[in-house]
Amino acid sequence: MTVLALVQRSFGLGAVALLCAVGALAIVEQRTDEPDPPVLPESVPAPGGGWYEGPAAPRLAETAGERTACGFVVRARTAGVAHPVLPCGAKIFVAFGSREVLTQVIARRTPAGTQFAVSAALAKLLGLRSTDIVRWRFASTG
């Protein structure tokens, strides 16, 4: 290899390194110090500005490890509800007493006489220990 070829090769590699450095600096400059906070759904009031109400039981039919009719695998920490009509994956706010939790429809089967079956983890978050009336409303989708 000649000296001229070595000089050209070194110059080319230096130019590539310089371009990479400039590109990296441009990417770093575009970043902000604090990431944007995640956009969470908001509660959508029921007609008249309030909540829907319905009986709920802290007894999801599926046990840990089972797949629901909606395709979710239930885990010990799964916080979701079963509802026979609402679409699978529908995001809803469920409230009991002073507690309000964002959750989603993960299953279909509910105990007789109830509108919702609540997973054990969600029942614990809400403080729901037996069949009782809960408030609920849809979460905004965007």
CB atoms within 10 A of CB 53: 13
Judge contact between 39 and 91, C-beta under 8 A. no
Q: Is residue 73 part of a domain?
A: yes
Top pLDDT among 48 and 8 is at 48
- DSSP, collapsed to helix, strand or coil, labels residue 118 as strand
User: Residue 5: which residues within 8 A CB-CB, separation 6 or more?
Assistant: none
Cα-to-chain-centroid distance, residue 13: 46
Quote the pLDDT of residue 46.
85
Q: Does 66 lie in the same domain as 126?
A: yes
Q: Does 113 lie in the same domain as 77?
A: yes
Q: Does 119 lie in the same domain as 64?
A: yes
Number of domains in the chain: 2
Mean pLDDT score of the chain, rounded to an integer?
86
Q: Is residue 36 part of a domain?
A: no
Quote the pLDDT of residue 47.
86
Q: Does 58 lie in the same domain as 27?
A: no
Q: Does 92 lie in the same domain as 22?
A: no
Q: Does 58 lie in the same domain as 25?
A: no
- The closest of 99, 69, 66 to 85, measured between CA atoms, is 69
Q: Does 117 lie in the same domain as 68?
A: yes
Domain that holds residue 16: 1-31
User: Residue 136: which residues within 8 A CB-CB, separation 6 or more?
Assistant: 51, 52, 53, 54, 92, 93, 94, 95, 116
Q: Is residue 38 part of a domain?
A: no
Structure tokens at 78: 């799964």
Q: Does 126 lie in the same domain as 78?
A: yes
Residue 131 forms beta bridges with which residues?
none
Quote the pLDDT of residue 79.
94
- DSSP, collapsed to helix, strand or coil, labels residue 119 as coil
Q: Is residue 37 part of a domain?
A: no
Q: What predicted TM-score, i.e. pTM, was given to this entire model?
A: 0.70
Q: Is residue 70 part of a domain?
A: yes
